[in-house]
Amino acid sequence: MTVRTPPLTPYPLRVLLGRIAREWETRRRIFDLPTGRFYSHDPAHDLSFEMGGRRPSNPIGPAAGPHTQLAQNFVIGWLAGARVFEAKTVQILDELEIDRPCIDMEAEGYNIEWSQELTLDQSLEEYVKAWMMLEILSHWEPLEPIIGPPGEHVFDLSVGYDLDGIRTERMDRFIRQMMDASEVIDRLRPQIPPPFERFRDHDFDPHIGRSVTLSTFHGCPPDEIEGITRHLIDTYGLDVIVKLNPTLLGFEEVDRLLHDVLGYRDVPLDRHAFDADLSFDRALRLIPTLSEYAAARGRRFGIKLSNTLVVGNHRNKMPGDVMYLSGRPLHVITVSLLDRLTAALGDLLATGADPGPVQVSFSAGIEASNVADAAGLGLRPITVSSDLLKPGGYGHLSAMLKRLDQAMTEVAATTLEQWVAHQEAEARRSGHRDAVSAYAAQVTGPEGVAHYGADAVRRRLRHVDHTLELWGCVSCNLCVTVCPNDAMLYLPTPDTLADELSDRWQYLCLAELCNDCGNCATFCPEDGAPFEVKPRLYIDPDRFATATGPAFFIGRDGDSLAAVPGPGMQPELSRLLEVVSGPQGLPLRPEDLTPIGHVHRPEHR
């Protein structure tokens, strides 16, 4: 795979909202998510909880990562049921070059991303656009019969990685504008296009961020964690959650679980990374200290278990010496860490039927099969990254919520508190200290190994012996569902091309939304990377001017969609136009696009 690192170029709010209206009208989908994957809240259950002074209507959502970077990602997650969004981590170094590919989700998950690739100003605008779109869709009549009353949602900020960086004027401005986004909202209002124009004067709540998760990097000293937490509480009055690393469990125990119990024997651990990180004993002093500090100032402190685990790069699928492990093995490690912390901190943690003051947020290998167990421990919020990068993508969120609803229905629990009380009572009845220790025993025992162990997780992906081409393929749709940015889309092959193209669907890449993460290439059963081989559509003239590969500019000519071919693509132009202009063609409104007369072809540079 070639290593190209073009910047992500977010779509303007006008184009995104225009797409929602057009896609709904022509295909009854939004950002490729079919209505069958929209989540409709079961009114018999109250899944709400308190966070940052709001009451999100359920505790599930995407973790800081690729699903909380671009504005449309939040919309897809929200439609699938997410009500807590941990925004992609921002930091002062906001022009990072991230190596590609950066995601490897073939079995257990690995990545080499570590914070946003957008600038701070772009991230701010993406989060505000997302906030405005969710507010608009919450009041949009066509959705009402499908999702019902959606209830509240929460955006949790995520910042890293050192106090000096967080104190800079640019980071300060970012945090303050997330806490009061009035200026940005007013700047974006005129972009709201005609299908939604009644929302131009809508009373958007400008107070987007009321809580923050501090993502600590490996090696972050405890004093620094303490200093940043105090700074965020004192300066901004935010509730603070500290995201801890799984190294906290200690080298010997992680080594035993990962290698001996779960069978991931080839995954190299680095003892130095464990030595450099926060130790368990120090965490036992840090957590009560910061909880008291926050409480004395009327704020809440919490911990998040856990961040990814640093391991050696034994697969050489991504560049660099180290990578970060997530997914199923991390679930077992992190539950074991939770068990150890619960045993040591007793009533301090907000787990179980009699919750203490320290909120415990969870992200590690959450999926439909374990989300009810996690909710039954009192963990809130419960966020996900790896499972949403597997086939099915964002649709897994609605499946998780349905599983939680189902589990609660079976025991006649109508609130999360009742569900937690039921799980706690069951655990004690079976002789465990509490529900956390019962669950830890389950995931590290034979039942857990059968599900989370290497033998269960490392299955060969489907492969067909065919080289991927510009048009046509086995149409498995996997590239669409695994893309966190909805950068791959599919359109029906128009009848006019039926003699030339035998496949029913054609797949295309929205180039500005693709960051070459490589995830679609992992899952495509054909030989080739969808994001490189399929037609790459640009709507930004500057990005098109430097385009390579099978590139086309999509704009307008009068009231119609029009295209300009990139180098070598002239022979494919008429086919492309047929595909994008069909009745269920490209769901972008010509009036939101640039006239093609203004566009320079790459070969003319």
Ligand X SMILES: Cc1cc2nc3c(=O)[nH]c(=O)nc-3n(C[C@H](O)[C@H](O)[C@H](O)COP(=O)(O)O)c2cc1C
Binding site for ligand SF4 (CB under 6 A): 468, 473-479, 482-483, 485, 487-488, 507, 509, 514-520, 524-526, 530-531
CB 592 within 8 A of CB 14: yes
Minimum distance of ligand SF4 from residue 418's CB (angstroms): 40
362 interacts with, out of ligand X, ligand SF4, none, CB within 5 to 8 A per kind = none
Q: What is the token pair recorded at 473?
A: 């393929």
Q: Scan residues 527-546 and list those touching ligand X (CB under 6 A).
A: none
Q: What backbone phi and psi angles, to 5 degrees, belong to 32? A: 70, 0
> Does 370 sit near ligand X (CB under 6 A)?
no
> Does 434 sit near ligand X (CB under 6 A)?
no
Minimum distance of ligand X from residue 226's CB (angstroms): 18
Q: Tell which one of 52, 365, 453, 518 touches ligand X (CB under 6 A).
A: 365
> Does 366 sit near ligand X (CB under 6 A)?
yes
> Does 247 sit near ligand X (CB under 6 A)?
no
CB 514 within 8 A of CB 480: no
- Which span sits near ligand X by CB under 6 A: 64-72, 295-303, 431-439, 570-578? 64-72
Q: What backbone phi and psi angles, to 5 degrees, belong to 566? A: -80, -175
Distance CA 576, CA 562 (A): 10
**Phi-psi group of 402: left, alpha or beta (phi > 0 → left; psi -120 to 50 → alpha; rest → beta):** alpha
Minimum distance of ligand SF4 from residue 477's CB (angstroms): 5
Q: How many residues does the chain have?
A: 605
Residue with tokens 């036992």: 284
Minimum distance of ligand SF4 from residue 5's CB (angstroms): 12
478 interacts with, out of ligand SF4, ligand X, none, CB within 5 to 8 A per kind = ligand SF4
Residues facing 467 on adjacent strands: 527
Q: What is the token pair recorded at 425?
A: 């009572």
Distance CA 30, CA 32 (A): 5
CB 505 within 8 A of CB 491: yes
474 interacts with, out of ligand SF4, ligand X, none, CB within 5 to 8 A per kind = ligand SF4
- Which span sits near ligand X by CB under 6 A: 141-149, 273-281, 291-299, 381-389? 381-389
- Which span sits near ligand X by CB under 6 A: 39-47, 61-69, 139-147, 570-578? 61-69
Distance CA 462, CA 467 (A): 14
Neighbour tally for 491: CB within 10 Å: 18
Residues facing 527 on adjacent strands: 467
Helix 169-179 and helix 120-138, axial crossing angle in degrees, nearest 10: 10
CB 332 within 8 A of CB 444: yes
Minimum distance of ligand X from residue 82's CB (angstroms): 13
Query: 3-class DSSP state for residue 536?
Result: strand
Minimum distance of ligand X from residue 257's CB (angstroms): 15
> Does 215 sit near ligand X (CB under 6 A)?
yes
Task: Name the residue nearer to ligand X (CB basis): 115 or 351.
Answer: 115
Q: Tell which one of 57, 91, 229, 386 touches ligand X (CB under 6 A).
A: 386
Q: Tell which one of 66, 329, 376, 518 touches ligand X (CB under 6 A).
A: 66
> Does 111 sit near ligand X (CB under 6 A)?
yes
8 interacts with, out of ligand X, ligand SF4, none, CB within 5 to 8 A per kind = none
CB 124 within 8 A of CB 206: no
Strand-by-strand arrangement of the 239-244 sheet: 60-62, 382-384, 359-362, 301-305, 239-244, 209-215, 154-159, 84-86
Dmax (CA) for the chain in angstroms is 75
Q: Scan residues 301-360 and list those touching ligand X (CB under 6 A).
A: 307-308, 326-327, 330
Q: Which helix (H) or strand (E) holds 312?
A: strand 309-312
> Does 243 sit near ligand X (CB under 6 A)?
yes
The interface mask with ligand X, positions 143-162, x = CB under 6 A, is ---------------x----
- Which span sits near ligand X by CB under 6 A: 109-117, 230-238, 370-378, 582-590? 109-117
Task: Name the residue nearer to ligand X (CB basis): 134 or 310.
Answer: 310
Q: Which positions lie near ligand X, rule CB under 6 A?
A: 63-66, 88-89, 103, 109, 111, 113, 115, 158, 215, 243, 307-308, 326-327, 330, 363-366, 384-387
